[in-house]
Amino acid sequence: MKKLSLVCSFLFMAFCSAKVVAQEAASQRAQNIFIELGGQGLTLTANYDSRFTNKRDGLGGRIGVGHISSDGSSVTTVPVSLNYLLGKERRYFEIGLGATYATATVDGSFLDFGGDDDGDDSGSTLIGTMSFAYRLQPMDSGFSFRAGITPIFGKDFFIPYYGGISLGYTF
């Protein structure tokens, strides 16, 4: 009888601790590292995204950096934004608002970097960004995917149908 009581106690404690571990894993905040083409980073960027609370959804933020150059022209971007995830389990709708700092040396750019009037557009600017995206992120850790519309705007332009796609890892 003493052995049966000991075994039952052990099984009960093991079950309770497994349940606590499972609840802790489900309540950990989602953190993502990802590469994005287009989107709020404008070019090809490496990014970090995290929730602000110990939940998989809700309010969070992201920061990234990107650089691209070709034929003497180059663009460096630093996207920073707040976002909110709506959904459950592993499928989410992302709504975000942010800004991207861009510095460039670009000939004939449609973005105004404050350059001179001969078409050489060198300098820096701050570009407003929005995000309306589908996000697939695992419950624990693993491959993540994002795709959506990311309108961009500045003092003299608005591009409503700019988009982006990203692949990454959630932990």
Average pLDDT of span 54-68: 95
Can you name the residues that pair with 149 across neighbouring β-strands?
Answer: 132, 163
List, for residues 4-50, the tens digit of each pLDDT value.
Answer: 454 445 545 555 544 444 444 456 888 999 999 999 999 999 999 99
Can you tell me whether residue 78 is helix, strand or coil? strand
pTM here is 0.76
Per the CB < 8 A criterion, the answer to whether 39 and 131 are in contact is yes
Question: Can you tell me the mean pLDDT for 66-81?
Answer: 92
Q: Report helix, strand or coil for 96.
A: strand
Q: What is the mean pLDDT of residues 137-144?
A: 92
Range in 97-101, 118-122, 155-159 the model is least confident about:
118-122
Per-chain mean pLDDT for the chain: 84
Phi, psi of 85 (to 5 degrees): -105, 130
**With contact defined as beta carbons under 8 Å apart, do 93 and 134 qualify?**
yes
C-beta neighbour count of 121 within 10 angstroms: 21
The CATH code of domain 30-170 reads 2.40.160.20
Specify the range with the lowest mean pLDDT, choosing from 23-32, 36-45, 108-117, 144-153. Answer: 108-117
DSSP letter at 89 equals: T
Q: Locate 50 and state its tokens.
A: 């995290």
> Would you give the DSSP letter of residue 30?
P
pLDDT score recorded for residue 162: 96
pLDDT exceeding 70 applies to what percent of the chain? 75
Hey, where are the domains in the chain? Answer: 30-170
